[in-house]
C-alpha cells in the first residue's frame, strides 16, 4: 500500500491519501481523544504523541499536529497507523456511529430558497476545492444577510482561512446570491 501525503495551507496540518475510500459518506472531525472513540482510525492516531486533531474525508485523512512537534518526527508514525488500519480491513468508523458523520450541506424541504442556493453553491463549487486542501466547510446558518460556516480539518485554525472566507467564499456567494452580505466562521 502506498500512502501519499500533501501539504495544506495550514502548516500544522498534513493531508494523507491512502488511495482508497476513507468515509462512505460525509466527513468526520475529531478534536480530542475522547471524541475519537467512535472511530478506530482516529482513536489510534490520537495515540501518536503530538496529534491534535483528525479529519476524515471521502478519500483522505487530515492530521493536525501540536506546534511543538515536527512533521519529520510525526509523519512516519502516522503513516504506520494509517497503513495498519487499511491493510487490516478494520472499519474507519464503528458501525453504530456511521450516522454521526457530518453530512454535506444537504438541502432539506424546510430550507428557504436562499439557504437552498447557498448549500448548492457550497456543495458544487466550494467544498470540492476546500477538500483538495485537506479541509471542509459546512453550512451552519443564514441570518440577516450573514452566512455562518463551520471550518473543519486543515481549514480550522489555518492562517489563510479568513482570506478564504472573505476573498473566496464571500465574493462567490455575493455574486450568485444578492441577499448575502457577509460570511463568518463559527466555532
Residue indicated by cell numbers 508514525 = 77
Say if residue 117's pLDDT is above 60: yes
Of the pLDDT bands very low, low, confident and very high (cuts 50, 70, 90), residue 186 is confident
pLDDT at position 36, please?
Answer: 94
Q: For residue 158, is it left (φ>0), alpha (ψ between -120 and 50) or beta?
A: beta
Segments making up each domain of the chain, as ranges: 4-100, 113-186
| Residue 129 reports pLDDT greater than 90 | no
Q: Tens digits of per-residue pLDDT, 72-95?
A: 999 999 999 999 999 998 889 987
Average pLDDT over residues 140-147: 93
Banded pLDDT at 31 (limits 50, 70, 90): very high
Q: Residue 51: what pLDDT?
A: 97
pLDDT given for residue 127 in this prediction = 85
Q: Which of 34-43, 113-122, 126-135, 149-158 is the least confident region?
A: 149-158
pLDDT confidence of residue 101: 52
Q: Could you give the 3-state DSSP secondary structure of residue 65?
A: strand
Does the pLDDT of residue 64 top 60, yes or no? yes
> Residue 12 phi/psi, 5° resolution?
-90, -5
Please answer whether residues 53 and 156 qualify as being in contact, where contact means their C-beta atoms are separated by less than 8 angstroms: yes
DSSP one-letter code for 157: T
Average pLDDT, the chain: 88
Do residues 149 and 139 lie in contact, with contact meaning Cβ atoms separated by under 8 Å?
A: yes
CATH 2.60.120.260 fits 113-186, yes or no: no
Does the pTM exceed 0.85?
no
CATH architecture of 4-100: 2-Layer Sandwich (3.30)
Does pLDDT of 100 surpass 70?
no
Mean pLDDT, residues 107-135 taken together? 86
Amino acid at each position: 500500500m502506498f500512502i501519499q501525503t500533501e501539504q495544506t495551507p495550514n502548516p500544522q496540518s498534513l493531508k494523507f491519501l491512502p488511495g482508497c475510500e476513507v468515509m462512505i459518506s460525509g466527513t468526520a472531525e475529531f478534536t480530542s481523544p475522547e471524541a475519537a472513540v467512535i472511530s478506530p482510525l482516529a482513536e489510534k492516531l490520537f495515540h501518536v504523541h503530538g496529534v491534535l486533531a483528525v479529519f476524515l474525508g471521502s478519500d483522505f485523512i487530515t492530521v493536525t499536529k501540536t506546534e511543538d512537534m515536527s512533521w519529520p518526527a510525526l509523519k512516519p508514525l502516522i503513516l504506520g497507523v494509517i497503513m495498519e488500519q487499511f491493510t487490516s480491513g478494520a472499519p474507519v468508523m464503528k458501525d453504530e456511529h456511521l450516522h454521526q458523520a457530518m453530512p454535506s450541506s444537504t438541502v432539506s424541504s424546510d430550507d428557504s430558497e436562499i439557504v437552498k442556493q447557498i448549500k448548492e453553491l457550497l456543495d458544487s463549487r466550494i467544498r470540492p476545492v476546500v477538500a483538495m486542501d485537506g479541509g471542509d466547510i459546512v453550512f451552519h446558518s443564514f441570518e440577516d444577510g450573514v452566512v455562518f460556516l463551520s471550518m473543519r480539518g486543515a481549514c480550522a485554525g489555518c492562517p489563510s482561512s479568513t482570506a478564504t472566507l472573505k476573498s473566496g467564499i464571500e465574493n462567490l456567494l455575493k455574486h450568485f446570491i444578492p441577499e448575502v452580505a457577509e460570511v463568518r466562521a463559527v466555532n
